[in-house]
Structure 1
Amino acid sequence: MSRHEDKEAAVRRLLDTPHPPVPGDLAAEAAERGARLLRRHRAVRRTAWTLFALAVLAFVLWVSAAQPWEVPAETTPPFDGL
């Protein structure tokens, strides 16, 4: 027998055995868990976008107040020598 035939025979043996019992409310529990995960992901995404918007707002306010692109007006007086 080749390796492929061995694997196929093993799978057929597994499929021929009786299947384990499945709880009746499995689908409802899975749907509830999926809905809970979806709500959690939405909340995390909403929080991340809110924090990003606040960071952008803070940066814009800092830039408008500090104006880092302008040269400072205070310069040192010229040196006259000794």
Structure 2
Amino acid sequence: MNLPEREAAVRRLLEQTPAPVVPSGLYGEAVRRGRRMKRRWKAVRRLLWLALFCAAVVFAVWAVTARPWVEPPSETTPPLTGW
């Protein structure tokens, strides 16, 4: 079955079956749910950005106080020679 035959078969099927009846409140319910989902995703996105910002601040404070780039002081003393 090639493309024009498939299109013709689909058209025949659509012409035979009556159009389904859509409930009257379906559109309003779908819009309400969509808005609610959008608000939730927006809140989740804001929380993730806030968490990322807090992690960056915590890392910066740790780096300033711990100074991991500085070599730690020697634990042992060098040998004393020439006494």
Normalised TM-score (structure 2): 0.83
3-state SS, counterpart of residue 27 of structure 2: helix
Normalised TM-score (structure 1): 0.84
3-state SS, counterpart of residue 58 of structure 2: helix
Quick check: 1:23 aligned with 2:23?
A: yes
**How much identity, in percent, do the aligned residues show?**
44
**Residues 23-77 of structure 1: per-residue CA shift (max 9 Å, x gap):** 1111101100110110110111011011101100110110011001111134411
Quick check: 1:53 aligned with 2:53?
A: yes
Gapped regions of structure 2 (runs ≥ 5): none
Gapped regions of structure 1 (runs ≥ 5): none
More displaced, 26-35 or 5-14?
A: 5-14
CA distance, structure 2, for counterparts of residue 69 and residue 5 of structure 1:
70
CA distance, structure 2, for counterparts of residue 45 and residue 70 of structure 1:
37
More displaced, 9-18 or 55-64?
A: 9-18
What value does the CA root-mean-square deviation take over the aligned residues?
1.8
CA distance, structure 1, for counterparts of residue 27 and residue 13 of structure 2:
24
Number of equivalenced pairs: 80
